[in-house]
Structure 1
Amino acid sequence: MPGVVIIGAGPGIGRSVARRFAREGLPVTLVARSADTVAAVADALAPTGVRVLSLTADSTDATALRAALDTASEEFGVPDVVVYNAAIIQPDLAGELSVRAHQDAWAVNVVGAINTAAHVAPAMARRGSGSFLITGGMPEPKPEYVSLSLGKAGVRALVALLDKQYGPAGLHVASVTVDGPVAPGTDFDPDDIAEHYWYLHTQPRHQWDREIVHSEHAHRRSGDAHDWAHGVLIGLLGAWQSAFDEQRWHDLAALFTEDALFQGIDPALRVGPTETVGYYAAVTDQPRAAMEVLRANRLAEGLVGGFADVTFTPATGEPRSIRLSVVAQRIEGTWRIRQYHAAPRP
């Protein structure tokens, strides 16, 4: 089964992105310079039960990088997603760095992404699907971060070039631009940022974005407003839909908090995963669900809410449409449904 390859799989965004895709059942290939680094991230993925391949390669060593990418393809097939997350983040003013230091920063921030794309993008394009995502930054250049500002400007240009070259064949090329220092429990929590990567990967082709900017006061798509909460609900309700369709009641129960408040289309009020799953398991006509998130808002730190439309199509009989009101809470890095209310929709 093809999966996700993460170049620069460190303890921040790299680890959170790996966990986000692992929650969807995708095999994960981790690539970093240090064996200790990839081992620590691999340990964090152990509870997910997905297959993990841990590889070491310096993103500036083209030979080693290509070998790692080849190993990932041999193990899991041409990847569904490639995330280039390697960067040199250092403060420097104009004139402070030597020519060699500037070249070293550019090699990590831009050239490694070029070499990665050149090696894997053609096969992904031939298949006609997939996502090539790069971690960006510095939407506005900062004089105290000259090398990083230049590198992230290069990333933005590279995304545009790769999109022109491979986008028509079906490869979604985009960047997640992070406009601040990444740290858990802040506006730049890596678990929140990781939602953007999943959102970009799951976008329908006619809605592709080329950039999402994550800043202190707003998380927006290039060109118009976007709340990352939309991606949270797409991922969470997508997992709910999959578990429901396949009648995986244990997995469905795990999507709800222990004190979740639940009301289906009947007037009964239910609390917790056991009562909730009992409601679903009692459905006898084995319908399949089609879900569309209509709106999502960030309610507070680690809390989002929104609306969705769901159409249930049974094996026999007429489809039934409902509107959901959902509140989701992030608990230990995982989003779960805290409140669910369904109402008939004309």
Structure 2
Amino acid sequence: MPGAVVIGAGPGIGGSVARRFAREGLPVALISRSAGTLANVAETVSSFGVPVVSLTADSTDETALRAALDAASDELGLPDVVVYNAAIIQPDTPGQLPARAQLDAWAVNVVGALTAAAHIAPAMARRRSGSFIITGGMPEPKPQYVSLSLGKAGVRTLVTLLDQTYGPSGVHVASVTVAGAVAPGTAFDPDDIAEHYWRLHSQPRRQWQREVLHSGLNVPAGEAATGGTAPHAGGDQTTGITGTGRPDASTEPTAYGVIAELLGHWKRAFDDHRTADLVSLFTDDALFQGISPRLMVGPAEVAGYYDNVAEGTVATVEVLRANTLCDGIVGGFADVTFTARTGETFPIRLSVVAQRFEGTWLIRQYQAAAR
């Protein structure tokens, strides 16, 4: 039975992702530079009663990485999902690292993922199914972490290129952007983060997302977000939006976080004119009213609306308020200003209602009014 391959299977996200897929009954192949690390992770994964294959390879060694992927396929079959989790996380300011060290970081953070995808994704495309997921980070670049900022920007671009290449053939390429320091028991608990990988892999094609952001606010309903400083943490900036007039954070962080994260994804997809990614943020029966008076329902009409937006139009978003309406449903208001390539602006007040489906939040109702 084909299963999951985790490259960079360490004690943090990699191990948690491996266990998450094993919990679903998938055999797991673990790839890491360290035999000791592999042994520890393999022991915890095998407790789920699934076959586990441990393979040693450095992600920057193209020959070794390709050989490990071949060995995993020989043992388990062409994988259903490959997760690339290898990264070099280090503080460095502009010019602090020599060029060789920058290239070494780039080789791990980006090139290894490209090597793995080029080796596995074509076979997935021929089969017309499979997922290739990369661990991302640094939603906003920071001058204190130059190599990491460059690497994670490269990951985001690589995911776009791989999606353009293999997505039409049925391969779901995506990234999980982690906006904080990973540690058990915090808002960046690796077991919580691992849930995103399973959701991405199991998403129906019409709901495919290319990027999921774990901001530290997207915790299960009823749990407060805790944990904080990290090389790639940035508060609300991690969503790509701003927020003022936030309601009592002690009682409503989850509702605010859901709306902020959803609209952060919406803004990125809107600015890049990625219609498919915009549509993936809405439910199949979403009620939609944009800046035109026409009322719309469902993916086809939403896609048609966004396809007609002029290229070069971008949006700024400021979340104003958010509330939990009932279990699994939140609502909020935001001020959005659209700016055309000509410089002309159009400000609106946006009302959004979102609903949770097995841990994934989607927009159920979207209504814009002139501001």
Query: The TM-score by the shorter chain falls in which range?
Result: 0.5 to 0.7
Quick check: 2:329–2:356 contact (8 Å CA) kept in 1? no
> Which residue number in structure 1 is paired with residue 341 of structure 2?
none
> Which residue number in structure 2 is paired with residue 175 of structure 1?
175
State the 1:122 CA deviation: 0.1
- State the TM-score, normalizing by the size of structure 2: 0.61
Q: CA–CA distance in 2 between the matches of 1:126 and 1:142?
A: 40
State the 1:223 CA deviation: 2.7
> Which residue number in structure 1 is paired with residue 81 of structure 2?
81
Q: CA–CA distance in 1 between the matches of 2:87 and 2:59?
A: 9
1:129-148 counterparts in 2 under 5 A?
129-148=129-148
1:54-203 counterparts in 2 under 5 A?
54-203=54-203
> Which residue number in structure 1 is paired with residue 40 of structure 2?
40
Code of the aligned partner of 2:49: G
State the 1:216 CA deviation: 2.4
Q: CA–CA distance in 2 between the matches of 1:47 and 1:2?
A: 19
Question: How many matched pairs?
Answer: 235
User: Where in structure 1 do 4 or more consecutive aligned residues deviate above 2 Å?
Assistant: 216-225, 294-298
> Which residue number in structure 2 is paired with residue 223 of structure 1?
265
State the 1:296 CA deviation: 3.7
- CA offsets per residue over residues 54-97 of structure 1, 9 Å max, x none? 00000000000000000001111110000000000000000100
- What CA RMSD, in Å, does the superposition of the two structures yield over aligned residues? 2.2
Q: Secondary structure at the match of 1:134?
A: strand
Q: CA–CA distance in 2 between the matches of 1:43 and 1:19?
A: 10
Quick check: 2:131–2:201 contact (8 Å CA) kept in 1? yes
- CA offsets per residue over residues 258-296 of structure 1, 9 Å max, x none? xxxxxxxxxxxxxxxxxxxxxxxxxxxxxxxxxxxx974
Q: Does 1:11 align with 2:11?
A: yes
- CA offsets per residue over residues 113-165 of structure 1, 9 Å max, x none? 00000000000110000100000000000111000000000000000000000
Q: Secondary structure at the match of 1:223?
A: helix
- The percent of aligned pairs where both chains have the same amino acid is 70
> Which residue number in structure 2 is paired with residue 211 of structure 1?
211
Structure 2 vs 1, CA of residues 307 and 6 (structure 1 numbering), >3 Å: closer, same or farther? Answer: closer
Q: CA–CA distance in 2 between the matches of 1:73 and 1:204?
A: 24
Q: CA–CA distance in 1 between the matches of 2:155 and 2:45?
A: 28
Q: CA–CA distance in 1 between the matches of 2:182 and 2:86?
A: 14
Code of the aligned partner of 2:48: T
Q: CA–CA distance in 1 between the matches of 2:147 and 2:23?
A: 35
Greater CA drift, 38-47 or 82-91: 38-47
Identify unmatched segments of 5+ residues in structure 2.
218-256, 268-325, 331-354, 360-371
State the 1:45 CA deviation: 1.3
- State the TM-score, normalizing by the size of structure 1: 0.65
Code of the aligned partner of 2:75: E
Structure 2 vs 1, CA of residues 82 and 297 (structure 1 numbering), >3 Å: closer, same or farther? Answer: farther
State the 1:46 CA deviation: 2.5
Quick check: 2:82–2:133 contact (8 Å CA) kept in 1? yes
